Amino acid sequence: MRKAVVYPWGKLLLLVVLAGCNTDTRDFEWSEDIAELTGKDLGSWLRQAPFSNELAQREENKMVFTNAQQVFPFMGRYYNAVEELRYARNEPDNPIYWQETVLYQDPDWGDLFVNATLLYDDAEVFLDRHYSESGNVVFEGTEAAMGNHSATLTETAVSARGADYKTAIYWASTGGECYLLGFYQQDNLIFEAAIPLLASDTSATLAKLNAVNEKLELNIAEWQQATVQQLAPSGTHETFWKDPFVGLYPEKRYMLDKVQLKVKDTPFQQVRPAVTGDYYFSYDKPAGKVVLYTALRETEVDREAFDAENEDLPAYETNGRHVYYEEQEAGERVKGVAKTYFGSGQYLELTYEYPRDDPEAKAHVHGILKHVKVSRIL
């Protein structure tokens, strides 16, 4: 049994179906400040926001699906220093403890949301400049699978960071609509509110954002002190996520890179043409050069057999793959070889060297090995 509820004056739709239960596998520790602010109940806390006509997302013994992610592709989506945070149900490294979104079809303001996310670990998060979300066939028909919904964020002059918090106000543009997006992170709590710009009245939208600020007792001084002039697009991209990956082995058919290495946030520089291997990266240290290069090698085994052959080696697991490595000291140097299954009778080999007594160089090399990405579309 299911039903769809359509509100004719807005874009948000919902679908109700029978639902099961989710369980988490990690213990969460509340900080005193966040517990006091939220009352340890994100839903009740968010519903103090000064809006009406909530789009209910729950029914007893049922799960409610909405098209909110298509209407707001940027909603509740964050990056750490490496990649986008994804909720991983029942996995020990799941980064998200609790995420709650309250949707409104406010009679005065239209479709909007307030969102709160609690992370297990206290780590800084970032927003991206661009987001996209695939179409939803349930709400949009079978052709939706081939389409996508996109959003672009624009910085303003309202941005700050302190010892235990960061905040900013952005403009979000999506689906022909413009929203003022308030972003705030305190320790492991992330908060967002997206309010539509009505009749180009930036002052009214800013006032409403600060009404949210007051009602939820966030007391974000940068929002309270913001002026309409400060909300002009700044033309900068300073607070957004910086992609640390470089793409290798381009594939023409799908217009993507088959391999991505996390080298942009390291001292490594690509050397062209490659000294050896397919792609060669290096940088100089007083104790000697740090080197890493890649090559594709042939194998007659499939992925399962490849993993079985190398299961006794130390390994990093990332993106559903194992990167096996072995290294040894050679005088004042450490030399190593890492490998991961590539597909189509091949594996990716990464050869590296660094000074033995240089823990920073080791950290850079192993930081790359920990986050090797190999496309699943090969």
Q: What is the pLDDT of residues 188-204, one digit of tens each?
A: 999 999 999 999 999 99
- In a domain, residue 237? The reply is no
Same domain, 317 and 280: yes
Same domain, 226 and 266: no
The stretch 322-335 carries a mean pLDDT of: 97
pLDDT digits (tens, 9 = 90+) for 256-274: 899 999 999 999 999 999 9
Q: Say what the pLDDT of residue 56 is.
A: 84
Q: Say what the pLDDT of residue 252 is.
A: 81
Same domain, 180 and 251: no
pLDDT at 31 over 50: yes
How many distinct structural domains can be found in the chain? 2
Q: Which residue has the tokens 């400040």?
A: 33
Instruction: Provide the CATH number for the domain around residue 311.
Output: 3.40.1000.10
pLDDT at 298 over 70: yes
Same domain, 252 and 193: no
Same domain, 257 and 227: no
Q: Say what the pLDDT of residue 253 is.
A: 80
The stretch 15-31 carries a mean pLDDT of: 60
- In a domain, residue 137? The reply is yes
16 confidence band (pLDDT: 50, 70, 90): very low
The stretch 29-45 carries a mean pLDDT of: 96
Q: What percent of the chain has pLDDT over 70?
A: 87
Final residue belonging to a domain, choices 181, 202, 231:
231
Same domain, 141 and 197: yes
The stretch 3-26 carries a mean pLDDT of: 47
Final residue belonging to a domain, choices 231, 257, 290:
231
pLDDT at 19 over 70: no
Same domain, 162 and 265: no
Q: Does 319 or 217 have the greater pLDDT score?
A: 217
Same domain, 328 and 368: yes
> Rounded to 5 degrees, what angle do the CA atoms 155, 231, 104 make?
85
Structural domain including 211 reads 3-231
Same domain, 179 and 150: yes
Final residue belonging to a domain, choices 170, 202, 231:
231
pLDDT at 66 over 70: yes
**CA dist., res. 99 & res. 370, Å (int):** 27
Q: How many CB atoms lie within 10 A of CB 52?
A: 11
> What residues have CB less than 8 Å from 212, skipping those under 6 apart?
49, 50, 114, 182, 193, 195, 218
Q: Pairing relation of β-strands 246-251 and 96-106? A: unpaired
- In a domain, residue 240? The reply is no
pLDDT at 18 over 80: no
Same domain, 222 and 348: no
CB-CB contact of 85 with 125 (8 Å): yes
Q: Say what the pLDDT of residue 135 is.
A: 67
pLDDT at 10 over 70: no
**CA dist., res. 196 & res. 338, Å (int):** 50
Same domain, 338 and 278: yes
